[in-house]
Amino acid sequence: MNRPTLYGADYSVYVRIARMALEEKGIDYELVPLDIFAANGIPAWYQEHHPFGRIPAFEHDGFRLFETNAIARYVDEAFDGPALQPADARGRARMGQMTGMLDAYGYRAMVWDVAVERLEKAEPDETLIAGGLRQAETVLRVLTSLKAPGAWLLGDQLTLADLHAAPIVGYFVKAAEGQKLLAVFPEIQGWYKRIAARPSFARTEKAD
């Protein structure tokens, strides 16, 4: 099989999720740089890859995909390597619940409202940060309650739920408030230490 292509930037949380899946499967892939926030805008050709102008987009032997969950599932199922999805219906459902929750309630609050606001704004909006932290607390509390016993979110098997959560939490803890809140949830803090120690996390770290 030819090596797949991922379009995106190393600063992107969602690109990192897809890259971690590729890394964990041991797949050789090409990362085509696509800066979604470039001053001159998104190149016109990219519209064919992602009609909503987001990253990542993916291509493999002419098969194109966007939406990170779809990309990650395809990567897991179309290539050799360790299975990144549980075999049983309940495990898969729990994985989908976690990734859906992170997309719907975690990403904006933890990445944008807390970390980006605190770290990248000259005059951070404290109301936005406080609201983001409240929402992040709910996400971390629910993640704790859903987490199965074992090293990873679904137990002993590393799954797409771990690869989805890691870049979001990784961005969140760049802010001091994020680190402090994570410490309130020791099971998730312990999980984060483990996932952050994996080569797939180190290899997808944004280059400074």
Ligand X SMILES: N[C@@H](CCC(=O)N[C@@H](CS)C(=O)NCC(=O)O)C(=O)O
Q: In this structure, which amino acid lies at residue 124?
A: P
Nearer to ligand X, 9 or 146 (CB): 9
Q: Which two tokens stand for residue 75?
A: 């990567």
Nearest distance in Å: CB 55, ligand X: 4
Nearest distance in Å: CB 24, ligand X: 18
Q: Compute the distance between CA of residue 201 and CA of residue 24 in angstroms, rounded to an integer.
A: 9
Nearer to ligand X, 107 or 185 (CB): 107
Instruction: Return phi, psi of residue 54, to 5°.
Output: -115, 170
In the numeric block, the tokens 């299975």 are attached to 83
User: Binding residues for ligand X, per CB under 6 A?
Assistant: 12-14, 36, 54-55, 67-68
Nearest distance in Å: CB 134, ligand X: 22
Best CA proximity match to 94, nearest among 143, 38, 156: 143
Best CA proximity match to 170, nearest among 91, 115, 94, 127: 115
Nearer to ligand X, 53 or 190 (CB): 53
Nearer to ligand X, 14 or 29 (CB): 14
Q: Which residue is nearest to ligand X (CB)?
A: 54
Neighbours of 197 (CB within 10 A): 9
Instruction: Say if CB 8 and CB 34 are below 8 A apart.
Output: yes
Best CA proximity match to 13, nearest among 125, 193, 187, 163: 163
Q: Which two tokens stand for residue 90?
A: 């309940």
Nearest distance in Å: CB 67, ligand X: 5
Q: Compute the distance between CA of residue 44 and CA of residue 38 in angstroms, rounded to an integer.
A: 13
Nearer to ligand X, 161 or 185 (CB): 161
